[in-house]
Structure 1
Amino acid sequence: MSATTTFEEDNITPARRRDPLLVVLWVALVTVAAIWVAPFVFITFTAMKSNSDVMTTSAFSPPTDIAWENFSGAWKKGNFSNTFLNSVIITAVKVPLGLLISAMAAYALARIRLRWGRFLLVFVLFGAMIPFQVMLAPLFTLVNSLGLIDTYIGVILPYLAFGVPYQVFILHGFFRAVPKELSEAALIDGASHFTVFRRIFLPISLPVLAALLILDFVATWNEFAMALVLLQNKNMWTLPLGLMSFQGQFSNSYGQLNAAIVMTVLPAVIVYLIFQRYFVSGLTSGAVKG
């Protein structure tokens, strides 16, 4: 009996002591998360309320009756059928094309021996150091001289110019970390650099490309300043520019304004949820070697 008791006492798991630092960290994380989530809750609830409910109820109280007409009214008043299409076309062309150009450029700079390889890398990365705000005036002059104002290509080309350097920087570091034996064995067997890039480097870089896709999609979808300068025709406006339609005579339609914001943000949220697991693995890829 005593031996059994001793055995049971030896297998009793002691009560876990909570690390004070861990508790403080969790409290801090929950607080920061609440601060970030609060505006989204406010916007979502307001988008589903009528103007009378917005004025009489608390900002964070859920709606009693969902005002679906806010979304249909916002879609019509903001001309979202046109601005949404423009955003889809610009984003669908710019994001994949930018990733492809960046991946090929990063592979060439990381794996092909070039005489001026380091200089070219520094030259490309120099583009990521220039704030695009200081380039808006000369950029408008250049695009206008080419006759590309109020055109898709007139917006896509500047987007590519300012987005590619950052992506090249990320992908170049990733490609440099790939063991040389993978590419050298394929080259010895007669494969071209394009085949090595397509068959080896692209498949293993999918997590990083997915992370860059999310970041680039959100940045392109929500871009405002450059589109405002280069797209002066309302028929060419993107979704962020369409939100300007709610200024002035529509400024009192709080429900419609927030419904328009929800519809503008929703595609970016959907893309993030689809590629979320790839985004996390892409951010951590290369963090641990061996």
Structure 2
Amino acid sequence: MSAVLQADPAAHKRKQRAPKPPRDWVLTGLWIALILVAAIWVMPFIFIVFTSLKSDAEIYGSGAFMPPTSWAWHNYAAAWKTGNFGTTLFNSLIISVIKVPLGILFSAMAAYAIAQVKVGGRKFIFLLFLLGTMVPFQVLLAPLFGLVNQLGLTNTYVGVILPYIAFGVPYQIFILRGYFREVPSELSEAALIDGASHVTIFWRIFLPVSLPALAALFILDFVATWNEFAMALVLLQDSGKWTLPLGLMAFQGQFASAYGPLNAAIVMTVLPATLVYLIFQRYFVSGLTMGAVKE
């Protein structure tokens, strides 16, 4: 290439004078806006983390967003021991680890049946599920408590997991049905011709290709289950069965002025859900956008 340019000086000049591509100011402005929005969202978390690592004297004597000069890790130890966060963390893990995969599995099976199994009345069944997304669970707390109490399931994991699944299934079916309808029907038809059952098609074809949607629902459902407060407050009256939000409420009521341990408790409460989101976030957008409903 250099030899060609030396042999043809005019070509060398044309290369030097080639105009630079114009700057995309719209894209630059979009990046600036995204950075500003991200900073606004991150600043409260930075404030909580910094406060959780400061002593009381440093909290009152330094700026809110100033990093701690000495790391007060004892705030986390005090919050963990005083707030009984070991028990509440275990309860939240048990409920979330059981409820989230089980609820998504039920929703995926129902969504597959509605989207791919050709039976009469499936659209009506789908509409019945959609009605569940229109009823706020707060108005059902009183009858729900009465039902759970009659079954003897208050202050139990089962008594919380079953209502959680029931209220989460309609939205998950709505998302997964749209996703399953995007899968080419030729795949299931060919498998049926080869003698495969609907159970085999569901497990071997539809679940593997729907991993982005399942991951997106896993994030949403895990965060919602982890942070759920009202239903747990009604159904779990024994402090030994409290979840992390209930434990944080009790800790805040007793140690409202202990800002260091209080913010440490907040960090320990939100950290697991944040880690789950960071692990699966690459599937989040693609999983929700590919599940668009197409009638």
User: TM range, normalised to the smaller chain?
Assistant: over 0.9
Q: Does 1:164 align with 2:154?
A: no
* 1:7 to partner: Cα distance: 4.0
Identity score, percent: 65
Distance (whole Å) between structure 1 residues aligned to residue 7 and residue 196 of structure 2: 73
SS at match of 2:71: coil
User: What residue number does 2:3 align with?
Assistant: none
Judging changes above 3 Å, is the alpha-carbon distance between structure 1 residues 13 and 93 closer, same or farther for their aligned structure 2 residues? farther
When normalised by structure 2's length, the TM-score is 0.92
| Larger mean Cα displacement after TM superposition, 87-96 or 261-270 | 261-270
- TM alignment of 1:85-100, pairs within 5 A: 85-100=90-105
User: What residue number does 2:70 align with?
Assistant: 65
1:50-108 CA-partner distances (Å, limit 9, x unpaired): 11111111110001111111111111111111100100000011000001000000000
Work out whether residues 47 and 257 of structure 1, in 8 Å CA contact, stay in contact via their aligned partners in 2: yes
Q: Does 1:49 align with 2:31?
A: no
* 1:2 to partner: Cα distance: 9.3
| Larger mean Cα displacement after TM superposition, 236-245 or 143-152 | 143-152
* 1:31 to partner: Cα distance: 1.8
SS at match of 2:132: helix
SS at match of 1:240: helix
| Larger mean Cα displacement after TM superposition, 142-151 or 200-209 | 142-151
Distance (whole Å) between structure 2 residues aligned to residue 137 and residue 11 of structure 1: 77
Work out whether residues 248 and 265 of structure 2, in 8 Å CA contact, stay in contact via their aligned partners in 1: yes
Number of matched residues?
Answer: 288
Distance (whole Å) between structure 2 residues aligned to residue 244 and residue 286 of structure 1: 37
* 1:114 to partner: Cα distance: 1.8
Judging changes above 3 Å, is the alpha-carbon distance between structure 1 residues 11 and 108 closer, same or farther for their aligned structure 2 residues? farther
Judging changes above 3 Å, is the alpha-carbon distance between structure 1 residues 12 and 284 closer, same or farther for their aligned structure 2 residues? farther
- TM alignment of 1:136-285, pairs within 5 A: 136-285=141-290
* 1:20 to partner: Cα distance: 3.5
SS at match of 1:128: coil
The code of the aligned residue for 1:164 comes to V
- TM alignment of 1:67-146, pairs within 5 A: 67-146=72-151
List gaps (5 residues or longer) in structure 2.
1-5
Judging changes above 3 Å, is the alpha-carbon distance between structure 1 residues 49 and 28 closer, same or farther for their aligned structure 2 residues? same
* 1:34 to partner: Cα distance: 1.2
Q: Does 1:38 align with 2:38?
A: no
SS at match of 2:250: helix
SS at match of 2:163: helix
The code of the aligned residue for 1:117 comes to R
* TM-align CA RMSD: 1.8
SS at match of 2:64: coil
1:176-212 CA-partner distances (Å, limit 9, x unpaired): 1111100000001110000000000011011110111
* 1:9 to partner: Cα distance: 2.0
Distance (whole Å) between structure 2 residues aligned to residue 187 and residue 11 of structure 1: 64
Work out whether residues 77 and 245 of structure 1, in 8 Å CA contact, stay in contact via their aligned partners in 2: no
The code of the aligned residue for 2:113 comes to A
Q: Does 1:15 align with 2:20?
A: yes
SS at match of 1:89: helix
Distance (whole Å) between structure 2 residues aligned to residue 45 and residue 220 of structure 1: 27
The code of the aligned residue for 2:49 comes to T
Judging changes above 3 Å, is the alpha-carbon distance between structure 1 residues 67 and 117 closer, same or farther for their aligned structure 2 residues? same
Distance (whole Å) between structure 2 residues aligned to residue 5 and residue 242 of structure 1: 77
* 1:134 to partner: Cα distance: 1.6
The code of the aligned residue for 1:156 comes to I
* 1:269 to partner: Cα distance: 1.4
Judging changes above 3 Å, is the alpha-carbon distance between structure 1 residues 181 and 68 closer, same or farther for their aligned structure 2 residues? same
